[in-house]
Amino acid sequence: MNRPLATAFATGLAIPLVAAMAALPRHGSPDQPIHTHVAAQYHAWPHELGNLVTAVLLDYRGMDTFGEVVVIFAALMVVLVLRHKEEPLPSPDPSPIVAFIVRLVTPFIALFGFHVILVGHVAPGGGLQGAAILGGLVLLNGVVFGPDHVRSLHPGRALPWLQGAGPLAFLAAGVVGAVTTGFALGYPTHLPLLQEAMVVGIELGIGIGGALIFSRIYLAMEGA
Amino acid sequence: MSLVFDLVLLVLLVCTALAVARTRNLAGAAILFSAYSLILCVLWLHRGAPDVALTEAAVGAGVTTVLFLVVIARTSP
Amino acid sequence: MTTLAGNLDYVATMLLFVIGVWTLVSDPNLIKKVMGLNIMETAVFAFIVTSGALEPPSPIPHALVLTGIVVAVSTTAVALALLLRVHREFGTLDLDELRDLW
């Protein structure tokens, strides 16, 4: 679309949107539409987890998080269908400063990523955050040292089902919840140890599965 | 005081988004997009959202920018 | 006008959204279109989190935005994989040239 028509369209879209912002309640007032429907109920229900965000993601809206994990797995499937073998780009020659720093901080970033996954139910963190950190770490090493260097980090032929660890963890938790409480993803409040084990198990599944999915997408795009 | 910080962050955000839209050089636009994601991460921290800030920093600077740079390296002559 | 000046945070997120739409529509390079899509998505996340800014910040919009960020990354990954195949088949990523080559 040519430039003047696009600018006219953007301006015509901006005017009703910005005018609608004047009709919303004031910034910071509690009668905004996001606080009046379901959020009051979520605040009123008692929850045993320390982090309300994790409680909403895994307990009150557990099915939505299951759907999101299936979405990212489906994205991996599409990228794997679309890939093709490519001749590798000339391997990068990193300067010694960059190579030294990346080699130095990689173990600390990996430790921090696992810590973020495991404390997700009491402190800010969780499975998605840890998956993004670990996946970003593999991508950082791939950019600096070349994709052949990081291909061994990915269990390609030995454990390919680990990439689906997110949906599998949700299915396992659903079965355990159905056996103990009668609902599909119900957390048994009469067995607090089992409830915490289910939450940590789901977080680990999302974390490891998500990190493997991100690194596999990167390897597929590099043509490895 | 926090109102001034808020205003400065929002102005920086809009200016960086305009810069991403107007740059012709693709690698420059990818690096500017990484800077946009970093300013957005600081805005999340200012709004009191540590989970979202952690995810946005790792995803914006780690995964999305690297994927853009891989595609730009493969498709530029 | 007074309520517009009081809601400047929302106005900024809508400006970001319109900048994303403009990039998506007007730039002929396909990679810039994907960047415009990402700017649109992050503008919507900014709107959702900003509307949850009470005096103790309400953590429920954060859960919506977390799911949204992961879906945005998945969409970007699929779009970039499609772009790689388009470049392999046609040799160019410019929409004006693609329109003649198809």
Lowest-pLDDT range, A27-31, B32-36, B65-69, C46-50? A27-31
**Residue written as tokens 């015509």?**
A12
On whether any CB of chain A is under 8 Å from the CB of C63, the answer is yes
Residue A89 has a pLDDT of 74
Residue A224 has a pLDDT of 65
Tell me the pLDDT tens digit for each residue of A187-214.
Answer: 887 888 888 899 999 999 999 999 999 9
On whether any CB of chain B is under 8 Å from the CB of C62, the answer is yes
Show contacts of A88-94: CB within 8 Å, 24+ apart: A88/A146, A88/A147, A88/A148, A88/A222, A88/A223, A88/A224, A89/A222, A89/B73, A89/B74, A91/A146, A91/A148, A92/A143, A92/A144, A92/A145, A92/A146, A94/A144, A94/A145
Residue C38 has a pLDDT of 96
Per the CB < 8 Å rule, is A125 touching B54? yes
Q: pTM value?
A: 0.92
Which subunits count as partners of chain A given 3+ CB pairs below 8 Å? B, C
CA distance A123 to chain B (A): 9
Report residues of chain A scoring pLDDT below 50.
none
Partner residues linked to C29 by β-bridges: C94
Instruction: Give the contacts of B9 (CB within 8 A, at least 6 positions apart).
Output: B39, B42, B43, B46
Would the ipTM clear 0.90, i.e. be above it? yes
Of A126, A135, A222, the CB nearest to B62: A135
Residue A97 has a pLDDT of 94
List chain A residues with CB under 8 Å of B70: 218, 221-222
